[in-house]
Amino acid sequence: MQHGKYRFIVGFLAAPLGLYAIFVVWPFIQSIYYSFTDWTGLSPDFQMVGFDNYTRMFHDDIFWKSLWHSLLFALLLPLVTISLALFFSFMINVGGRRRRGGPAISGVRGSSFYKIVYFFPQVLSIAIVALLFAFAYNPDSGAINSLLRGIGLDGVQPLWLGDPNLALWCVMAVLVWSTVGFFVVLFSAGMASIPADLYEAALLDGAGRAKTFFRITLPLLWDTVQSGWVYMGILALGAESFAVVQIMTTGPGGPDYSTTVMVLYVYQKAFRDGQAAYATTIGVALLIVTLLFAAVVMRLGRRERLEF
């Protein structure tokens, strides 16, 4: 019976594990291999060059800029996005005042409408979001500067994406706006599963909204928050940041490489400059950064599991 059980399990796992190895693990191995060559990506001919690409990467100022920008994305975007999502979802589900004849615990008035409003950016493609905000940030005809002029702030007309000191923060704001709604819905679903008796008991004991959040809501949602943090960090290091920077910024990645992130730098080296081997070297560095980020978040966020 035991041998039959194991054959049954292996039979089900063989196909998905095989596909995973072919389409996920093998490309990683190939990338690491090509990082030790001089492959251009345009010719099948290449030679082994050892650690030359890695030596070049460590002396590449643009690489260090892109690494710093990616780290800022990975650290600040999850912090801001998840904090906002937790606040909004708490207000939607628990933060309302008690109404006469109604339940002791409820969300603010119009909470169902707010869920739709917050989730709306998820309906739009990230490319469409980036284009819309690129028009909004236009210093001459954009909606933001037009609004500033309309309220009498003609002297406050930033260049936004044209200013090296502001461009990166403008891109981050777009990513926060486009992703916070997803986490609002995610955390709202988690909060809806927390028994209302816990909140009612806390209110009877005199606990305020803030104490209720930190003593009840956050501990019981911690596993979801931790998973969301890792997910948001991976988005910030990967496709989401690439799409927004590629579409919105000059260069792209400018001005003066002020918005260049690692995934964009990989793309530029591979498809613009024809340096596929060097691009895979930067890709290996991005893989290491992503794995370290996930490991650190999971390690620092480890705590005893609470059940209800």
| pLDDT score at 307 | 57
3 inside domain: no
| pLDDT score at 66 | 94
Give pLDDT tens digits for 170-198. Answer: 999 999 999 998 999 889 888 888 887 88
258 inside domain: yes
Task: Return the structure tokens found at 58.
Answer: 């460590």
Residue 48 main-chain phi, psi, to 5 deg: -75, 135
Residues of the chain under the 50 pLDDT cut:
1, 101-102
Whether a cis peptide bond, with omega within 30° of 0, leads into 255 is: yes
Q: Which domain holds residue 177?
A: 60-300
| pLDDT score at 70 | 93
Distances (CA, A) of 172 to 73, 76, 187, 242: 7, 9, 22, 12
Those residues whose C-beta lies under 8 Å from the C-beta of residue 24, and which sit 6 or more positions away, are none
Q: How many helices (H) and strands (E) does the chain have?
A: 15, 0
Q: Mean of the per-residue pLDDT values for the chain?
A: 86
Tokens 């081997």 locate to: 277
226 inside domain: yes
- Distance, CA of 5 to CA of 154 (rounded, Å): 75
Q: Which one, of 92, 112, 89, lies nearest residue 228 by Cα?
A: 89
Whether a cis peptide bond, with omega within 30° of 0, leads into 121 is: no
| pLDDT score at 105 | 63
**Contact 283/168 with Cβ under 8 angstroms?**
no
**Contact 63/268 with Cβ under 8 angstroms?**
no
Whether this model's pTM surpasses 0.95: no
The DSSP secondary-structure symbol of 98 reads P
281 inside domain: yes
- Helix, coil or strand: residue 23: helix
The CATH number covering residue 263 comes to 1.10.3720.10
- Distance, CA of 223 to CA of 305 (rounded, Å): 8
Domain count, the chain: 1
13 inside domain: no
Strand partners, 48: 37
167 inside domain: yes
**Contact 35/269 with Cβ under 8 angstroms?**
no
| pLDDT score at 301 | 72
137 inside domain: yes
Q: For residue 220, count other CB atoms closer than 10 A to its CB.
A: 18
2 inside domain: no
